[in-house]
A and B are shown apart, each in its own frame.
Chain A
């Protein structure tokens, strides 16, 4: 059974601080990795689609890296703001078109 693990499960960060969290996935049969932000009472919003080993993507204060050989991706948030409070999901897509989501990292930004 393929497993996608996200850690930590929950995180409290002071406003203005930077933070990062991890998505671990199977290193074989990799096709793509997606990151999503899911705010309470809203729909998941795509952040990044990552496909190549060594990929680094950035959107404003948020960036992500990908290591397909060792099976992990990091999401970084620089200078956390209250609006960053959300659950961050990663999704592993295998060459067989199966999509497996992690359970998410719930980020709380403390004012």
Chain B
């Protein structure tokens, strides 16, 4: 089967606009994770889903960020009123279960540039 896919691969937007980033996990993977990597920074964990539920949203950088997952499959990360500091590569990963005993499979990422 296919790996984790993300769309769009690149997104350029103007400051203040809303953006939606999409992640399609590997079929059958119940756990889904969102990360971002800002320029010169390490990988930062944002949020994870077990099924459609996100037990802890405290990793989201601000209340402009939200994420949802429907049908235990596709997830969307939405950034409202984008700021320049939101520019980063946003990575999605999925795994068989959320226990962290299973390896995560990463998608190719979405590079977001906020002008």
Contacts and interface: CB of A to CB of B under 8 A. Distances in A.
Interface in B44-98: 44-45, 48, 55-56, 59, 91, 93, 98
B42 A43 contact: no
Interface in A58-105: 89, 91, 93, 97-104
Contacts, number: 52
Nearest to B42: A103
B101 A45 contact: no
B42 A49 contact: no
Contacts of B25: none
A109 interface: no
A98 B42 contact: no
A89 B43 contact: yes
How extensive is the interface on chain B, given as a class? 20 to 34
A101 B48 contact: no
B20 interface: no
Chain B CB within 10 A, most for which of A46, A93, A99: A99
A32 B45 CA distance: 15
Given A43-B91, A44-B91, A101 B44 contact: yes
A45 B44 contact: no
Interface residues of A, number: 21
Nearest to B46: A99
B106 A98 contact: no
Given A97-B48, A97-B56, A98-B59, A46 B103 contact: yes
Given A44-B43, A45-B106, A104-B42, 19 more contacts: A32-B100, A32-B101, A34-B104, A43-B107, A43-B109, A46-B105, A89-B42, A97-B55, A97-B56, A98-B59, A99-B33, A99-B45, A99-B48, A100-B45, A101-B35, A101-B42, A102-B42, A103-B41, A103-B42
Interface of B: 4, 33, 35, 41-45, 48, 55-56, 59, 91, 93, 98, 100-109
